[in-house]
Amino acid sequence: MPMLLPPDVRARLIPAERLAPLPVPPRIVSNGEYLPPRQSAALKGYETRMRARAEAESRRHALSPAAWLGTPMAMASAFAELNKSFGSGFTVSRDTPRDAGAADAERSAQAAQFVFDDQVHFLKDDADPALFVPLTGLIELSAEILGLPHAGCFTIEHIKFAAFLRDIFLASDTRVALLSGAPSDTDQGWMLSNNQMAAARAAVNAVAGGRRLLSHAVIAPGHAGWLDEIDRVHAELKPDGWKGYTVGEPFGPSAHRWRLDDEALMYPAYERLVKAGVRNLCIHKGLLPADPSLMPGAEPFARIDDLPRAAKDWPQLNFIIYHAAYRTIPQPTDAELARFEAEGRIDWVSDLAEIPALHSVSNVYADIGASFAFTVLTQPRLAAAMVATLVSGLGADKVLWGTDSVWYGSPQWQIEAFRRLETPPDLIQRFGLPDLGGWDSPTKAAILGLNSARLHGLDPAAYGAQGIEAGQIEAINSDWRARGGLPSNLAYGWAAA
């Protein structure tokens, strides 16, 4: 990702790959867009206890600590330790942290659940080092190491691509993923071009033997020839949806900021999308750095006050708001937390959830990518409240699962956290929030995959063990695990020293 943090600030950070490889990260990791906070006392306690538990349990099970940390027992133990840090928040059955059989049985049952991640990324290999800081912890897996057939799809140069494939499809329960990108004010600054996203989709699906990777195209209002690019992409690349940033380039000052309800600028683009039959338009909203100097002037464009009119004028489009418009990264301010505890409101998330009722629209959706990862590591009750608020306002069928991986490693820990997340009883009683239920509840199943499957015309049953989309990737996955493949538990980015 492009690096916003100046060299003197970055010199005080450490690569996230040096963190203890615990099943759930012990600190918030930055991809360079914001200053990572110092480790909280709650996460420090979690890390200390998990390190000790890894030493004790690995001896008891005759495993190395690294091997034990890759087991389902360790994942269950991580959430048991997080409950000690936060008081509660996650469902952990009594036996799974210490009983390998119980943990494996639970893991096997959950692994059959359909998971569609509607927000994943990787960085192009020829990125200009002056513009991008390498994601230094990517394990250098090549197509040969993975044992994949080549057929011109995978080469030794595609290390980041291969690591992306490993982290998303082998080390997590993700069945289908939607590859996304971001615009830049310069040609060199794009993390992936529209052509590269389409090429990655073709490569993964050729090897996987089914439709496992979908791809966005990025809309770039105001750029030279941007409307012609929409027509070209539809004709040549057939994207599965579009992605836009109203804040323009998301990594500093930008010359291309815009509003969803700008009739002169945006409505001709919507007309082209509708004509081409693409219905899903994903929009980056929220996620402002706590330090406004990192994105000066961005706040008016990061808000969602431009959404109601656009959604009402264009009912043919699904407006999918990425990050659920959650306002501040990497963690809520004291004022935001106080307001939440007093009123049950979450800045911009609650505003988003109220749009259907206030404006009589039914084409507004929320993706929880990145926002969930931040909140579940800092304030699990806030993470549960965020999801429950969206379910209450938008409907359980309008909330989508996304992780923003692989910037932060494999998405499996986020999947596990969501499955285990509990709605605090006091929030249900005080604010009328819905109970999210267990890991296999209709609400969680809808969010984790069924909603995105419906939006993209996929049949989740086709991705089961006997489904037509099971294909080659299941055989690759089985072979990888048989040869000792385990989650690395690594995150890629920067952490406070």
Assign residue 414 the CATH number of its domain. Answer: 3.20.20.140
359/452 same-domain check: yes
The residue whose two tokens read 């493949």 is 485
Mean pLDDT, range 133-148, rounded to an integer: 32
Distances (CA, A) of 53 to 298, 316, 484: 44, 53, 22
- pLDDT tens-place string over residues 429-476: 999 999 999 999 999 999 999 999 999 999 999 998 767 676 677 777
Based on the fold, state whether residues 125 and 53 are members of the same structural domain: no
pLDDT given for residue 288 in this prediction: 87
The β-bridge partners of 332 are none
Q: Are residues 100 and 192 in the same domain?
A: no
Residue 102: domain span: 7-111
| Dihedral (Cα; 408, 211, 221, 311), 10-degree rounding | -100
Q: How far is CA 319 from CA 397, 401, 483, in A?
A: 14, 15, 43
Q: Are residues 339 and 436 in the same domain?
A: yes
72-97 pLDDT per residue, tens: 999 999 999 999 999 999 999 999 99
| pLDDT exceeds cutoff 90 at 352 | yes
Which residues, 6+ apart, have CB-to-CB distance to 312 below 8 Å? Answer: 359, 360, 361
Joined tokens for residue 351:
């505003």
Which of 337, 353, 343, 317 has the alpha carbon at shortest distance from 242? 317
Whole-angstrom distance, CA of residue 480 vs CA of residue 94: 30
417: in domain: yes
The answer to whether residue 141 scores a pLDDT higher than 60 is no
User: Do both 276 and 384 map to the same domain?
Assistant: yes
* Residue 209 confidence (pLDDT) above 70: yes
Q: Give the distance, in angstroms, between the CA of residue 107 and the centroid of all CA atoms in the same chain.
A: 21
How many Å apart are CA 330 and CA 323, to the nearest integer? 12
Lowest-pLDDT range of 190-194, 291-295, 304-308, 436-440: 291-295
160 pLDDT band (50/70/90 cuts)?
low
Same domain, 52 and 199: no
Residues 317 and 251 in one domain: yes
Q: How far apart are CA 216 and CA 118, in angstroms?
A: 10
Let me know: does 383 contact 375? Beta carbons within 8 Å: yes
Taking only the tens place, the pLDDT of each residue in 30-68 is 876 677 889 999 999 999 999 999 999 999 999 999 999
Helix, strand, coil share of the chain (percent; to 5): 45, 10, 45
Token pair listed for 411: 């998405």
Q: Say which range, 231-235, 278-282, 331-335, 421-425, has the weakest mean pLDDT.
A: 331-335
Total residue length of the chain: 497
Domain boundary among 70, 92, 111: 111
Per-residue pLDDT band for 149 (boundaries 50, 70, 90) equals very low
Residues 6+ apart with CB under 8 A from 321: 282, 283, 285, 304, 307, 352, 364, 365, 366, 367
Looking at the structure of the chain, the number of domains it has is 2
Residue 384 pLDDT greater than 70, yes or no: yes
